[in-house]
Amino acid sequence: MHESIGVEVLNLKREYPMRPIVGVGAVILQNGKLLLVKRRAEPGRGRWSIPGGSVHLGEKVRDATLREAKEESGLDIEIIDDRPLDVFDSIITDEKGRTKYHFTLLEFLARSKGGVLKADEDAAEALWVSLEDVKKYDLTDSFRVFFEKHEEELKRLSSSV
């Protein structure tokens, strides 16, 4: 059946998609710090967020979280809680009000279990930031909303990670 469907139809477009794209984020805590990456691609190019990206067809969301963290930060991680910290929509419209991007994001709490921190793939930079300083960075809009909503919870959780 798939042979008759064009490849362009199977590959979801990121810009002006036909439907929401499932994405994941790795909320990686270590010693009271959060791993931030500077995005190299749109949406949010040049702004800070957590490692993450789109789920591939046939890939489980937790596996996508592990893959994206490795691709963007060089770190191997483990997900701490099987349940996401949050699930939300990131919808960005253009000047005409059309939906330019629509991601449904699952954010998982994680910790590093090895690897060497280095920005790679879609990240221009990667660094550990004190939870007290995260809001000083030029965060993507969706991550700023997430962080403000969960800041106290992350501070509490960071002592046990």
Give catalytic residues, as residue numbers. 125
CA angle 154, 67, 103 (to 5 degrees): 70
Q: How many Å separate Cα 101 from the centre of its chain? A: 14
Per the CB < 8 A criterion, the answer to whether 79 and 65 are in contact is yes
User: 63 CB contacts (<8 Å, ≥6 apart)?
Assistant: none
